[in-house]
Amino acid sequence: MNLSLVILATMTGVATGIVFGLLDVPIPAPPNLAGVMGILGILVGYRLIEYFDVGVSLLSLLNV
């Protein structure tokens, strides 16, 4: 994992959150920890499928 990319992404997120807060508009992200953990769970599940290589190609099943 590229630490500088993680730091840049975090700084960009903080700056974006500040702008949304200053403009008093809702953020395009979960407003609480449960929502953030749900997104993290989606990422972990996706990575597990990649790691174990057990995915199914939906396009192949649909003959696309």
pLDDT at 44: 96
The model's pTM is 0.62
1 has a pLDDT exceeding 80 = no
Structure tokens that stand for 13 in this block: 């997120």
pLDDT at 29: 80
Supply the DSSP symbol for 27: -
pLDDT tens sequence across 10-60: 999 999 999 999 999 988 888 789 988 999 999 999 999 999 999 888 888
Q: To which residue do tokens 């190609």 refer? A: 57
Report CA dihedral (11, 15, 17, 19) to the nearest 10 degrees: -170
* Cβ neighbours, 10 Å, residue 44: 9
Ordered by start, the domain boundaries in the chain are: 3-61
Query: Do residues 34 and 40 touch, judged by C-beta distance below 8 A?
Result: no
